[in-house]
């Protein structure tokens, strides 16, 4: 194996942006121009959700104005891991969803999440958007033997609905991933990965071609229903009156949508991506190109990319932390799981915001004429392009999506956007992970260096 990517300071040449942002084609040029006074629909946020909703509505003949406080794709849509994942509430499984929402709605939620993966995978065909989509499956990795038992049970629940998901026991994991750190995994073969920058740029082009009037660097500061049923969107560049509004601001939701902000907790997620690696080294990490994430509360997620990098992300802390410090934590995590990567150079490090919800479910819904899709808990790459489209169809008289039928709980703390409680929540999750780490250590010690033992 050649070793040109080995480095004494792995971060010496790291760019502070995502590889997607560095390698995506240019966004369509949007020149500043006056904001109109009225529109059929005002869309707030120019990521997957807003762009998909805007495109669909404009194609249906509506006049659509989209405002973004920054630029198109500035938010999580060009900073994520590009993992195209099905499944709502991974911690619950289908039985957990059934307990909460009843069997019919649980099945509808599951079907909707599978449909969202199909929708994104077909965008190449339906929209001519080539985003390097590969359906090579995702593997959720059990950090403890108890987690492995849970995943095995969930795989059985999914298989009973006709899903091709299956449990991979520890003794077979080496065919899937180059590490012995895990106790089994839930494999969902139809999921996959893509280049989210290319997807965002493609969606932006389609929206503008459909006639969407885009205004960048235009922040919505208040969204107020009027007596006549229309909605005023006050922005940093003037007010706009619309018949309907779509809010697609997810982890960047601010005081313009206070009702949503009371239900969302923005959390930073941090990522590193290596230099382009030797194909043999890459295959030693991920022989089948799967998307990986583990069952810890401070979870790691990782994958190989179409251009030959390892991308490794996680929630390094609930305390505010610099991207550089988080990158060092992630590097330690990555090389603990895959010692073969020790010394590889990091080419990109970055972060972005996800929006957690109290029930750890994504949500879509409406309040009067204000529609939204938000609260991504790790499946927004598939779900939100689909939900943007579904919301648009709902607004135009189509059926409401299943996730609009579940309640959207408030964050149970006095909270108006300053997440003062996060460090405490973080400590609680850290304790949970520590307990898991102890369980794991005990089982690994019993299993011995060969990694056999009870969980094999
Ligand atoms: C580091 C990271 C890794 C991730 N990895 C994955 C993954 O692998 N798989 C997966 O499924 N999901 C992943 N996600 C989540 C996924 O990226 C998001 O769910 C998805 O991109 C959200 O899209 P969106 O359009 O709703 O919001 P965003 O793309 O975040 O866009 C929101 C936009 O709203 C704008 N905005 C905010 N407030 C206002 C305002 N008042 N006025 C005007 N504009 C406003 C912002 O400027 C921003 O451009 C990840 C997220 C992050 C941050």
pLDDT, position 1:
44
Compute the distance between CA of residue 40 and CA of residue 358 in angstroms, rounded to an integer.
Answer: 33
Q: Residue 385: which residues within 8 A CB-CB, separation 6 or more?
A: 48, 49, 52, 116, 119, 120, 123, 199, 203
Cβ–ligand 1 distance for 76 under 6 Å, the answer yes
* Structure confidence by residue, pLDDT tens digits, 252-293: 999 999 999 999 989 999 999 999 999 999 999 999 999 999
Which domains, from first to last, does the chain contain? Answer: 19-405 (3.50.50.60)
Q: How far is the CA of 77 from the centre of ligand 1 (A)?
A: 5
CA angle 253, 299, 292 (to 5 degrees): 105
Q: How far is the CA of 84 from the centre of ligand 1 (A)?
A: 14
Q: How far is the CA of 376 from the centre of ligand 1 (A)?
A: 8
Distance of CA 314 to the CA centre of its chain: 12
Compute the distance between CA of residue 49 and CA of residue 363 in angstroms, rounded to an integer.
Answer: 12
Q: How far is the CA of 384 from the centre of ligand 1 (A)?
A: 9
Cβ–ligand 1 distance for 248 under 6 Å, the answer yes
Cβ–ligand 1 distance for 82 under 6 Å, the answer yes
pLDDT, position 373:
97
Cβ–ligand 1 distance for 48 under 6 Å, the answer yes
Q: How far is the CA of 121 from the centre of ligand 1 (A)?
A: 19
Among 47, 138, 417, say which to mutate for ligand 1: greatest number of ligand atoms within 8 Å of CB. Answer: 47
Atom index in ligand 1 nearest the CA of residue 200 equals: 29
453 and 446 in contact (C-beta within 8 Å)? yes
Among 376, 382, 388, say which to mutate for ligand 1: greatest number of ligand atoms within 8 Å of CB. Answer: 376
Cβ–ligand 1 distance for 388 under 6 Å, the answer no
* pTM: predicted TM-score of the whole model, two decimal places: 0.94
pLDDT, position 4:
52
Atom index in ligand 1 nearest the CA of residue 383 equals: 11
Terminus-to-terminus CA distance in the chain, angstroms? 31
Cβ–ligand 1 distance for 45 under 6 Å, the answer yes
pLDDT in 10s for each residue of the chain, 456 residues: 444 566 689 999 999 999 999 999 999 999 999 999 999 999 999 999 999 999 999 999 999 999 999 999 999 999 999 999 998 766 678 889 999 999 999 999 999 999 999 999 999 999 999 999 999 999 999 999 999 999 999 999 999 888 999 999 999 999 999 999 999 999 999 999 999 999 999 999 999 999 999 999 999 999 999 999 999 999 999 999 999 999 999 999 999 999 999 999 899 999 999 999 999 999 999 999 999 999 998 899 999 999 999 999 998 667 778 999 999 999 999 999 999 999 999 999 999 999 989 898 999 999 999 999 999 878 899 999 999 999 999 999 999 999 999 999 988 777 766 777 777 777 788 888 888 888 888 888 877 654 443 333
pLDDT, position 426:
77
Cβ–ligand 1 distance for 252 under 6 Å, the answer yes
pLDDT, position 319:
76
Q: How far is the CA of 74 from the centre of ligand 1 (A)?
A: 8
Q: Which residue's CA is minimally distant from atom 16 of ligand 1?
A: 380
């Amino acid at each position: 194996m050649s070793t040109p990517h080995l480095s004494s300071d792995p971060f010496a040449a790291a760019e502070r942006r995502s590889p997607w942002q560095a390698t995506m084609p240019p966004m369509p040029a949007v020149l500043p121009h006056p904001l109109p006074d009225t529109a059929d629909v005002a869309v707030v946020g120019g990521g997957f959700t807003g762009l998909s909703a805007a495109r669909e509505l404009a194609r249906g003949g509506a006049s659509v104005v989209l405002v973004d406080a920054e630029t198109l794709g500035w938010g999580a849509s060009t900073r994520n891991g590009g993992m195209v994942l099905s499944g709502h509430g991974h911690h619950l499984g289908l039985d957990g969803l059934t307990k909460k929402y009843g069997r019919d709605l649980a099945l509808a939620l599951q079907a909707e999440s599978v449909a969202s993966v199909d929708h994104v995978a077909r965008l190449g065909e339906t929209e001519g958007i080539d985003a390097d989509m590969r359906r090579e499956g995702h593997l959720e990795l059990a950090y403890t033997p108890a987690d492995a038992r849970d995943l095995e049970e969930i795989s059985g629940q999914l298989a009973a609905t006709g899903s091709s998901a299956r449990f991979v026991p520890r003794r077979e994991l080496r065919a899937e991933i180059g590490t012995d750190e895990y106790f089994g995994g839930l494999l969902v073969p139809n999921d996959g990965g893509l280049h989210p920058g290319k997807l965002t740029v493609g969606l932006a082009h389609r929206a503008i071609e459909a006639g969407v009037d885009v205004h960048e660097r235009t922040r919505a500061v208040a969204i107020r229903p009027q007596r006549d049923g229309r909605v005023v969107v006050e922005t940093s560049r003037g007010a706009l009156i619309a018949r309907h509004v779509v809010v697609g601001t997810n982890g960047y939701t601010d005081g313009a949508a206070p009702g949503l902000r009371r239900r969302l907790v923005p959390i930073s997620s941090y990522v590193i991506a290596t230099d382009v690696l030797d194909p043999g080294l890459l295959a030693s990490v991920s022989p089948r190109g799967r998307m990986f994430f583990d069952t810890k509360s401070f979870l790691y997620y990782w994958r190989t990319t179409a251009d030959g990098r390892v991308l490794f992300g996680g929630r390094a802390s609930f305390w505010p932390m610099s991207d550089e410090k988080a990158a060092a934590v992630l590097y330690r995590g990555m090389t603990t799981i895959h010692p073969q990567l020790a010394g590889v150079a990091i080419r990109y490090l970055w972060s972005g915001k996800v929006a957690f919800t109290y029930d750890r479910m994504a949500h879509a819904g409406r309040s009067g004429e204000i529609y939204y899709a938000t609260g991504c808990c790790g499946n927004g790459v598939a779900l939100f392009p689909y939900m943007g489209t579904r919301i648009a169809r709902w607004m135009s008289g189509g059926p409401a999506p299943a996730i609009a039928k579940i309640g959207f709980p408030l964050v149970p703390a006095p909270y108006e956007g300053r997440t003062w409680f996060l460090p405490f929540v973080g400590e609680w999750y850290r304790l949970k992970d520590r307990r898991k780490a102890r369980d794991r250590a005990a089982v690994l010690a019993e299993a011995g260096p060969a990694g056999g033992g009870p969980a094999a």
